[in-house]
Amino acid sequence: MDSSQLELSDFGKKLTSRSGILRLMDDLGRPLPSGVESYPLGGGNPARIEEVEQSYRTQMEALLADGDAFEDVVSHYDAPQGRMSFVEAVADFLASRYGWHVTAENVAVTNGSQSAMFYLFNLFSGRFGSVRKTVLFPLMPEYVGYADQGIEPGTFVSIPSRCTYLDEHTFKYMIDFDALEAYLSTHSEVGAMCVSRPTNPSGNVITDKELSRLSFLADGYGIPLIIDNAYGLPFPDIVFTDDATPFWNENVVLSMSLSKIGLPALRTGIVVADARIVSALANLNAIVSLASGSLGQALAERLIRSGELLHLAQDAVHPFYLRKAGLVQSYIREFFDGTEYRYHRIEGSIFCWLYLPRLDMPTSRFYEVLKADGVVTVPGEYSFFGHPDQLSGLPYPHEHYDKCLRLNYSGPDEKVREGIRILAARYREHIRR
């Protein structure tokens, strides 16, 4: 090998590029220069919530106190589909609580839902013999962590969201169903549709009615509807609207996660899907990972069976973030007063999506200005992907493309407040006259 140059395959080049998600995770793990106080409004780290932590601690203590139960968990691999007692606990819970026709055959566990999404996208898009199939995202902007997950370039396509301005300072994205239906009727190569619900980055929550319509469309075209439920129902329940309920049917691939209910480090993603998809995921998991980590599954199993995880979601996680969502809005209204600004109505997730229409530079540059002051955010550009214009270097055709920042509001109140104060002060210096 030439010592000056590392030659990589197309696969390698695609997956080692300077992706948006890499930049974001780098920000999480890398300290700012010394002397710069940090206001971490970037990344996707959830908050520490005492009641949730206490429950996992109790589970861990019980595991340690119970003979060699702990050694039993950590000393062998589980099946590639998951820890079977956990898989059954999830299936029983969903079937008994929501009446879904789900058994253990419909549940697979992955090392975090991020890897579940990678598996799913590449099962349903890419080369199918001579056809190149795509994954369609019906509501752009979408989660930055998807943008580079397709192995085949150009296999992600999207429909720009419509935007309804609600009052002087808030707006809401809506699925443009006319554009979506027109697209589906003229693109037989679409292999799956995917939405995050609640949506990262905007905090939008697709309503039951919209979801039924998406599901109906997916059924009609014989393609799965992938719903990324990382912030959703029944847990972690970071949903603040009352027109959203847990949703699944045989044509839906529901991705869930224990990350936003206390266990991001234990990498536990859960997929509920048709048995053939679950089997494909298990086989893929065997090749990529052998098996998924067991500890998160072991700690959550009894909490799911007893209903305690659901209660933690409803009584601890939900109110925690509802309060935080209220606070971040009050900080924004206080510090941005007198400027032109808007934010997406916070309907769920741990993010506030701030639109700065008069910013005199793209948010990817403004992000650097803020970072120099210790305020770490996520610039919006990475969350707009899947438009053919972008293949020729043009920006995504959405008026919000380079004017939005994603703010994680789950940090300590004072840090969030001060971060927003600095952000507003810098915006005032960078208003296009």
Ligand X SMILES: Cc1ncc(COP(=O)(O)O)c(C=O)c1O
Tell me: does residue 119 bind ligand X (CB under 6 A): no
Radius of gyration in angstroms for the set of CA atoms belonging to the chain, rounded to a whole number: 22
Task: Using the minimum distance from each CB to ligand X, give the nearer residue, 321 or 335.
Answer: 321
H/E segment holding residue 417 = helix 413-429
Minimum CB separation of residue 255 from ligand X in Å reads 7
**Residues facing residue 127 across a β-bridge:** 132
Q: Is 408 in the site for ligand X (CB under 6 A)?
A: no
Residue whose pair of structure tokens reads 């769920």 in the numeric block: 348
Is residue 191 close enough to count as binding ligand X by CB under 6 A?
no
- Which residues in 257-296 contact ligand X (CB under 6 A)? 257, 259, 264, 269
| Interface residue with ligand X, options 161, 200, 377, 383 (CB under 6 A) | 200
Amino acid, single-letter form, for residue 124: F
32-71 residues near ligand X, rule: CB under 6 A: 44
Residue 117 burial (CB count, 10 A): 25
Cis bond leading into 198, ω under 30°? yes
Output 29 or 338, the one with its CB closest to ligand X.
Answer: 29
Q: Which residue, chain included where needed, has tokens 């789900």?
A: 102
In a 3-state reduction of DSSP, which class is residue 334? helix
- Residues 131-170 within binding reach of ligand X (CB under 6 A): 143, 145
Task: Determine the size of the site formed for ligand X (CB under 6 A).
Answer: 14
- CB of residue 42 to ligand X, shortest distance in Å: 12
Q: How far is the CB of 48 from ligand X (least distance, A)?
A: 15
**239 or 422: CB nearest ligand X:** 239
Nearer CB in complex with ligand X: 25/310? 25
Query: Where does 187-294 have alpha helices with state H?
Result: 208-221, 275-289
Which residue, 218, 204, 286, 203, is CA-closest to 248? 218
Task: Tell whether residue 126 is a contact of ligand X (CB under 6 A).
Answer: no
**Residue sitting closest to ligand X (CB):** 112
Q: Are 410 and 348 in contact, with CB atoms under 8 Å apart?
A: no
Find the part of the chain contacting ligand X (CB under 6 A) among 77-85, 88-96, 112-120, 406-414: 112-120
- 267 or 417, CB closer to ligand X? 267
Sign of CA dihedral 236, 238, 199, 333: negative
3-state secondary structure of 382: helix
Name the residues that contact ligand X, by CB under 6 A: 44, 112-114, 143, 145, 196, 200, 228, 230, 257, 259, 264, 269
